[in-house]
Amino acid sequence: MVSLLAAGVYSKSSNRFFFYTMLFIFLWLLAGLRGDVGQDTQNYGRHFYLLEEGMPFLDYFSSIEPVFAGEMVLFSVLFDDVTWFFLFYSFVQALFLIYILKSVSHKILFLFFYLFLYYLEFHMNILRAGLAVQIFVVSLILQPSRKSFAFLVLSIMTHFSIVYVSPVFLFRLRSSFGSKVSILAVCSICVALLFVFIGGAISDKFEVYFLSSGNEFEVPTVAFIMGIFLLVFVLANKSVSPPIVVSFILFFVAWIGVGKFEIFYRLYGLSFFVFMFLLFEERVIFGRDHGYSFRPLFMGALPILIWFLIVISYGYVTERERRVAEGLGDPEFSFIPYSAFYDSKVR
């Protein structure tokens, strides 16, 4: 997929559409036609078939964010196989990813890290959060148009966790103080509406993830060292934009927070994706007559990118063994080996 993008970037403009289309098809169908791959694939399949069997729609809308609930209900009415839902969802995610790719300066680097760090999780597992953070990034790209605000609201209504990274939107927005206050007020109303619809589900998750945590707080050593290392580069570079600083702070706080609350891995994953987009949105590598030069911020972020690349790749390879040994999740829905929908044991 990276080679397809490279061919598109360096080919003649008349050929770029072909390569981008091929890249889109790979991104779409690889995830959309998956079988028993990803723990949440099993969960969402269960949602679909419960609705098919007669679960009241209102009950479902009270258990999950309204945008996702509406999509799931619609597809359970129109189709009798959850594969159509996954195809649709993957189609939308692939479209957003291509749109985001066109907005970054270093397309090949961004796609390379995205494929290793986020593609499997966003497109085959945590679908709601994955799509929601893509929509959020699109809202950043569309600023300062009115569409950007609509996409911000849509992202929050797709997954509640986007509230955590929403400060980046305000710090990036070049608008009057009054406009920012108005946006903050509307976002607050959206959050309130979410609590009206799914307040019980949010409270239950809060209790499970936070109040029931018996872990003592331990600062993750690697997170602390690498975070401080990057912080030095952020503070030393006066040209760093406020949105990058805010996204880094959110990422660092969540990364350290994993030492107490395991669910914070979701928040630091989302905030780091936003940080990664902002990092590669502008040029960070410059060609010279005798080599290349790099922005200091990129050099500070590179160790974290490489660390995540190694740790996450190793996690994918060993996932099945760990689930068998620890009894967590279903080993049959591990990312490796990949399987197609026609090999699924539950559809």
DSSP-derived secondary structure for 233-279? HHHH-TT--HHHHHHHHHHHHHHHHTTT-TTHHHHHHHHHHHHHHHH
Q: Which domain holds residue 98?
A: 2-336
Domain-embedded: residue 346: no
Domain-embedded: residue 345: no
pLDDT digits (tens, 9 = 90+) for 31-81: 999 999 999 999 999 999 999 998 999 889 888 998 999 999 999 999 999
pLDDT level of residue 296 (50, 70, 90 thresholds): confident
What is the total count of domains within the chain? 1
Tokens linked to 188:
């607050």
Helix (H) or strand (E) holding 291, with range, is strand 291-294
Domain-embedded: residue 215: yes
Among candidate residues 125, 147, 146, 124, the one with its CA nearest the CA of residue 135: 147
Domain-embedded: residue 343: no
Q: Is the dihedral of CA 85, 67, 121, 2 positive or negative?
A: positive
pLDDT level of residue 5 (50, 70, 90 thresholds): low
**Average pLDDT over all residues of the chain:** 85
* pLDDT over 90 (residue 141): yes
The number of CA neighbours under 13 Å toward the Cβ of 14 is 0
| pLDDT (average), residues 80-99 | 96
Domain-embedded: residue 347: no
User: What percentage of residues in the chain have a pLDDT greater than 70?
Assistant: 88
pLDDT level of residue 287 (50, 70, 90 thresholds): low
* pLDDT over 90 (residue 26): yes
Domain-embedded: residue 268: yes
Quote the pLDDT of residue 189. 81
Domain-embedded: residue 203: yes
Quote the pLDDT of residue 88. 96
**Across 9-23, 290-304, 318-332, least confident range:** 9-23
Length of the chain: 347
pLDDT level of residue 347 (50, 70, 90 thresholds): confident
Domain-embedded: residue 344: no
User: Cα dist. 22→12, 15, 27, 88, 279 in Å?
Assistant: 16, 11, 9, 17, 26
